Structure 1
Amino acid sequence: MTVWVWDSQESRFEEAPEDVGTWTLLAADSWLVEEGQVRAFERHRARFADAAVQVGVGALVTAEFWASVVEKIPEAGEWFPRVDVLETAPGGTRVLALRLRPAPPRTHELGVLIPPYFDPRSTPGRKGPDIAMLENLRTQAREEYDCDEVLLLSKDGYVIEGATTSLLWWDGDTLCAPDPALGALPGVTSALILNEARVRSIPVEYHQVRPEVLIRHEAWLVNALHGIRRVYQLVDTRTDSSPVHVQSATAVVFGRWREWMNSRQRRFLRQ
């Protein structure tokens, strides 16, 4: 992984200092790049710009910054770049940064952990500050329960989202998403899917759902890296921790939605 820090005075990236790993992450956004193509890049840009405004550095997120980000990403290969807002020291300077990371392997289904605790995030409304903590939870879920994702639950026990994903599920022919009042992050991939459902005249509804209810439904956890993944089993650590298989729709329908998602990729516009 390579890290660059944005010099806003010179409008260029510079190599990050050795201690960049000790800086505090205030905001972040990431997306998948395959052979120079990306999905919904403008939505990722907008979400990161909003987060930068929240932490007081909105003016740094300029057209020159984004042009330089694109130039740093190779046209060949598979990449999972991330842009950050970093604080160099408590109460210190806040800067933008770019991490160029190889894309990890992608999957189309996953096992999911229902934890015995409520959403532990310190900053649930902004992607970034809780990334390391959430990754630790996912690592624990993989090692102890063979699960790839952890659900985040409200204090009333409803599903908000996954640690790195947005939740969608089917109730018959209706596509459902968590009630916005639960405060999920604005998911780029879930927004694309919900918009396409409306274009196809598929009913869309928002509900508060308890995790055990998902066993009876086709459930998807979606994000920029993997696109659409179906939940094939749930492990409920609030009970006996035995894996329970989740109901699935036809492979044809699921496959067509994944094909549609892949078709949303567009080539970067380089200056």
Structure 2
Amino acid sequence: MSSAALSRWAGDALIPIDYCDPTEWVVEAADSWLTTDGTAFALRLHRDRFFAAAAERGAGLEGFTDAALASFWEASIAAIPAKGDWFPRVELQSKNGAASFLYRERTAPPLSSSVALATHRGPELRRVPTIKGPDLGAMMQVRRAAQERGADDGVILTPDGFVVEGGTTSIVWWRGDILFGAPEGPGWEEFDRVDSVTARSVFGLATALGVETHREPVTPAELDGTEVWALNALHGIRIVTSWVDGADEDGAGRGRLQLAELPGRLALWRSRREALRKPVRAAAA
């Protein structure tokens, strides 16, 4: 397989294809993760998230069964190269009421430990905010709009201006030694977002280490002076170094937040996360 190979599940094997027209197929569910020399972080959680999303979005699609999903997953894991850095993606697609599974074998782009953010000032583009897949194109638009303003990713806000998530990242922050994240669950539906595997794992690690955690609604301006992290499966934990329009509640100016960083904390948590990597084959089932 090439470093940018596409394959469709044919019921008993992955069959390479040359081209996939995104206008013909609808992505119903998707998941991706970083593999390094045959190891991955929290792959079981990615599997669980993809299976749950696929079961919800695939219900009623011709050809979708739990058995087909499980077989496709196993074949996709087996197809990931054992050497090098890869960022594979699995997808459930639909066309005219029929289901199809797609595996994308992608080389990992250059990784970083820092990121610049920008408040997203456009309309709400997400249609299915709690499931990864249907809104991949919309989230890329959020990211591209941020890049046009000199940032790496955009941050979506609630109608009242509270932080929800980034286009490709989950946002968390520190107040002293307490780790914070956006609200979630019943009663906080305006904060609906994709359940981030990396964020869930970081909060789980914090709990295991006895680090206090909290949830709070927060505007970008209220993060001034804090240490902010952007999390995702590709880069892991990154420090936010700047935030375009973060200090402007009404979006009228170009204010940037003054963000902090406790020396050594980012490196420590990145190393803790890396220590939890497991062989892909062992973690896949």
Q: TM-score, normalised by structure 2?
A: 0.87
Segment drifting more, 166-175 vs 12-21: 12-21
Aligned-pair Cα RMSD in Å: 1.8
Contact 2:228–2:240 under 8 Å retained in 1: yes
Q: Distance in 2 between matches of 1:263 and 1:59?
A: 32
Deviation at 1:156, TM superposition (A): 1.5
2:128 is aligned, of 116, 123, 130, to 123
- Within a 5 Å distance, the mapping from 1:55-94 to structure 2 comes to 55=57, 56=59, 57=64, 59-60=66-67, 62-88=69-95, 91-94=96-99
Are residue 221 (structure 1) and residue 226 (structure 2) matched? no
Structure 2 vs 1, CA of residues 216 and 60 (structure 1 numbering), >3 Å: closer, same or farther?
A: farther
- Within a 5 Å distance, the mapping from 1:14-93 to structure 2 comes to 14-16=15-17, 18-22=19-23, 23-55=25-57, 56=59, 57=64, 59-60=66-67, 62-88=69-95, 91-93=96-98
Q: Partner of 1:6 in structure 2? A: 9
Gaps of at least 5 residues in structure 2 are none
* Counterpart residue type for residue 39 of structure 1: F
Q: Distance in 1 between matches of 2:79 and 2:131?
A: 25
Contact 1:49–1:58 under 8 Å retained in 2: no
Deviation at 1:141, TM superposition (A): 1.6
Contact 1:60–1:96 under 8 Å retained in 2: no
2:266 is aligned, of 237, 250, 254, to 254
Q: Distance in 1 between matches of 2:266 and 2:106?
A: 29
- Within a 5 Å distance, the mapping from 1:48-197 to structure 2 comes to 48-55=50-57, 56=59, 57=64, 59-60=66-67, 62-88=69-95, 91-117=96-122, 119-142=124-147, 144-180=148-184, 181=188, 182-197=191-206
Q: TM-score, normalised by structure 1?
A: 0.92
Contact 1:178–1:207 under 8 Å retained in 2: yes
Deviation at 1:190, TM superposition (A): 0.6
Contact 1:110–1:229 under 8 Å retained in 2: yes
Q: Distance in 2 between matches of 1:186 and 1:99?
A: 22
**1:269 partner SS:** helix
* Counterpart residue type for residue 272 of structure 2: W
Deviation at 1:243, TM superposition (A): 3.5
Deviation at 1:207, TM superposition (A): 0.7
Q: Distance in 1 between matches of 2:19 and 2:202?
A: 40
Q: What does the per-residue CA deviation read over 1:93-121, in whole Å, with 9 as the maximum and x for residues that have no partner? A: 11111100110111111110012235321
Q: Distance in 2 between matches of 1:258 and 1:72?
A: 27
Deviation at 1:58, TM superposition (A): 5.4
Are residue 240 (structure 1) and residue 253 (structure 2) matched? yes
Contact 2:33–2:89 under 8 Å retained in 1: yes
Structure 2 vs 1, CA of residues 31 and 241 (structure 1 numbering), >3 Å: closer, same or farther?
A: same
Q: Distance in 2 between matches of 1:262 and 1:183?
A: 28
Q: How many residue pairs were aligned?
A: 265
* Counterpart residue type for residue 265 of structure 2: V
Q: Distance in 1 between matches of 2:198 and 2:124?
A: 21
Deviation at 1:65, TM superposition (A): 2.1
